[in-house]
Amino acid sequence: MMHELYGFLRGPMLWVALLVFFGGSGYRVAAMWRLARKKDAVIFNYSSGYYALRSIFHWLLPFGSRNMRNHPVMTVVAFVFHICLFLVPLFLSAHIILIKESWNVSWPWLPDHAADAMTWMVVAGCGFFAARRIIQPDVRYLTSTSDYLILAAIAVPFVSGTWAFHQWPAFPAATLVHMASAEILLMIIPFTRLSHMLFFPFTRGYMGSEFGAVRKARDW
C-alpha cells in the first residue's frame, strides 16, 4: 500500500499536478488576455512597459508603497511569508536530492534548520492571515469560506513536510500527506485566489500604466 501510494504520488500524480499547474496557468493568463482585448481594449492604447515596471518594482520593494508603510505589520508578515513560501520548497535539501535523482541536476540548498524555521514562518503567516480575516471587519466582509480553505491548503504541505523531517509519530503517512497536499496546492493555484501569483504583474502593470501614462501620478 505504502509503495503503491508513494510510487503513484512520486510518478504519475506529480506529472498530472505539474501539467495542471503549468497548463492551467497558461490557460488562465491567455483567457484573461483575450477577455481584456474584448472588454477593455482601450487599456492596450496606453499600456506602457516603463510605467508598468515602475509600479511593479515599487510594490515588490518592502515598504516601497504608501499602503505598505501604513500597514507595517501586514507588510512584514506578507513579505516574510511569501519569501519563505518560495525559498523553502525550491531550496530544500530533500527536494533538491529528489530532483537530482530524477533529472540529475542540482543546485545549492538551504541549511535544514533554516528551512525548518522558515517553514514555521509560513505556517505562522497562514495563522496571521486567518486571524486577520476574522478580526478585521473590512477584510471579514470580503472573506468567504474558500479563503480559509486556501490558507489551509498552504499550511498542510508545510506542516506535514516538517512532520516528516522531524520524524514525528506516523511520519511515513505524513510524507504521503505532504506529497499529496503539495500536488493539490500546485493544481489549485491557477483556479483560485492563489492565481494572484500569475496576475500580480498584469494587475500592477495595468494600474501603473493608467496612473503613469494617463493620470501622471504615482500608484504606490
Partner 1 sequence: MIKHKLSYRKQKIFSGVAVFVFFLLILALRAFSTDYIETVDDPAFEKRIRPAVVFYHDDHNDRAGIDDCSVCHHVYENGIKTADMSVGMACSDCHMSGPAAAPDLIRVYHLQCRGCHLSEQAGPVTCGGCHKK
Binding piece for partner 1, criterion CB under 8 A, among 21-29, 116-124, 166-174, 204-212: 166-174
Of 112, 131, 134, 146, which lies in the binding site for partner 1, with binding defined by CB under 8 A?
Answer: 112
Binding mask 90-109 for partner 1 (x = CB under 8 A): ---xx-xx--xx--x-x---
Binding mask 3-22 for partner 1 (x = CB under 8 A): xx-xx---------------
Binding piece for partner 1, criterion CB under 8 A, among 34-42, 172-180, 199-207, 210-218: 172-180
CB within 8 Å of 94: residues ≥ 6 apart:
165
CB nearer to partner 1: give 18 or 94.
Answer: 94
Residue 6 Cβ, how far from partner 1 at the closest point, in Å? 5
CB nearer to partner 1: give 163 or 206.
Answer: 163
Residue 148 Cβ, how far from partner 1 at the closest point, in Å? 30
Binding piece for partner 1, criterion CB under 8 A, among 30-38, 48-56, 88-96, 128-136: 88-96
Q: Does 172 bind partner 1 (CB under 8 A)?
A: yes
Residue 142 and residue 188: Cα distance in Å, rounded? 20
Residue 161 and residue 27: Cα distance in Å, rounded? 30
Which residue type occupies 126?
C
Of 15, 31, 167, 218, which lies in the binding site for partner 1, with binding defined by CB under 8 A?
Answer: 167
Which residue type occupies 11?
G
Contact (Cβ atoms closer than 8 angstroms) between residue 217 and residue 51: no
Binding piece for partner 1, criterion CB under 8 A, among 42-50, 59-67, 71-79, 161-169: 161-169
- CA distances in angstroms from 151 to 52, 88, 148, 185, 211, listed in the order given: 29, 17, 5, 10, 32
Residue 39 and residue 10: Cα distance in Å, rounded? 42
CB within 8 Å of 200: residues ≥ 6 apart:
56
Q: Does 146 bind partner 1 (CB under 8 A)?
A: no
H-assigned helices in the chain: 2-10, 12-39, 43-46, 49-60, 66-70, 72-90, 93-103, 112-135, 137-141, 145-166, 171-188, 196-209
CB nearer to partner 1: give 81 or 165.
Answer: 165
Residue 5 and residue 13: Cα distance in Å, rounded? 10
Which residues are at the interface with partner 1 (CB under 8 A)?
2-4, 6-7, 93-94, 96-97, 100-101, 104, 106, 112, 164-167, 171-172, 175-176
